[in-house]
Amino acid sequence: MNSVLLYFLFSFIGLLANGDNNDSLTKLKEEILELQKRIDNLEKFHKKYPRVKYLSINEQRRILVTGGAGFVGSHLVDRLMRDGHRVTVVDNFFTGSKANIEQWFGHPNFELINHDIVNSLFIEVDEIYHLASPASPPHYMFNAIKTIKTNTLGTINMLGLARRVKAKLLFTSTSEVYGDPEVHPQPETYWGNVNPIGPRACYDESKRVAEAMCFAYARQEKIQVRIARIFNTYGPRMNLNDGRVISNFIIQSLRKQNLTLYGNGNQTRSFQYIDDLVNGLVALMNSNYSKPVNLGNPDEFTIRDTALLIRDVVGNSNEVVVKEKMEDDPQRRKPDITVAKRELNWEPKTRLREGLMKTIDYFRSEVDKNDNSENLHTFYYLNSKDELDEIINSDKIEL
């Protein structure tokens, strides 16, 4: 096709040419030949994708991942794609990023739809991983009403889709449904201690409502539902400015800033690495267990000890600064994963220091890109280093 095109181009140029402009004709031919060479190189280029398991059409599942361009969603997409399934990602990119899933662009098993699940979606699928929701306090507090709509209307839409196409649905709930717990560690049978009108209520309560809707659809419409209550998770592709404890301390350490504690630093958290969570989500979807399941790491650390560990891994001696305690900040958070062990044969494998080393390497690379004024996808609403510093040092950082 290109050779024929060139033939006619040269013929046309030859007809227009006369003896006075042979130099111009030669120059044009050289430019066309250079263009042809570029076209040939492009046609020879084949994008290399991560290795994907081969599955027959009957073995492949059509899987929808809402929020699939986000931190957790993109890692889940990687796993499902490598397992050989056909994956459709739906995301409105409020907190997600195309850079998280760009390695799959163009793959025949992958499709991306820019869509807000507050609006209905019509698609044929076998399974739905419903992750769409802002998950860090600065993001879900930024537009509290939108957060409530995403977790309520969005979940109704996904349940309606599951009912129409008879798909299995996994809803990613949160440890925030336990609020500031009075039972420790927290089992799935604990009903929680949540402030229904506090600043975090838009997220906590909408997730609780979404769980109730899942079980209402399961009882009334016979939908197969799975509910994962996810505890603190960290790893590569976290938004550097999301205000969570791990990202906050890593950024401050890398920038040689003081480490900020809110309260006395004796609050506790349990941190699981992203790979462990993804394994748990897939195991839950593939199981026959339909009640809520805690997915988290039962190793408990104080916030102060976590800050010092991150400082040690980064390798500097930042001072620790104590500020006023945040409103509704849970004092203790640790999952009871007895159900996950029994029903899913799952438990986390990654130690905190090991996971932090991988995460810090990622953060260091991203921070270097930002400092060098390159296009950094994780800073999707920041314009400068000063804005990042302002967020990190503000009183809105969540522990």
Residue 127 amino acid letter: E
Active site residue 203: yes
As a whole number of angstroms, the distance between CA 340 and CA 35 comes to: 59
Among 129, 203, 234, 273, which one carries the catalytic annotation? 203
C-alpha separations of 206 from 145, 168, 212, 339 in Å: 10, 21, 10, 24
Q: What is the CA radius of gyration of the chain?
A: 25
Among 196, 175, 201, residue whose Cα is nearest residue 187 = 175
As a whole number of angstroms, the distance between CA 154 and CA 128 comes to: 13
Half-sphere exposure of 58 (CA within 13 A, CB side): 0
- H/E stretch holding 317: none
Terminal CA-CA length for the chain:
61
As a whole number of angstroms, the distance between CA 93 and CA 345 comes to: 34
Output the CA angle 126-274-48, nearest 5 degrees. 70
Residues ≥6 apart with Cβ < 8 Å to 272: 231, 232, 233, 234, 295, 296, 297, 348, 350
The residues assigned a catalytic role are 203
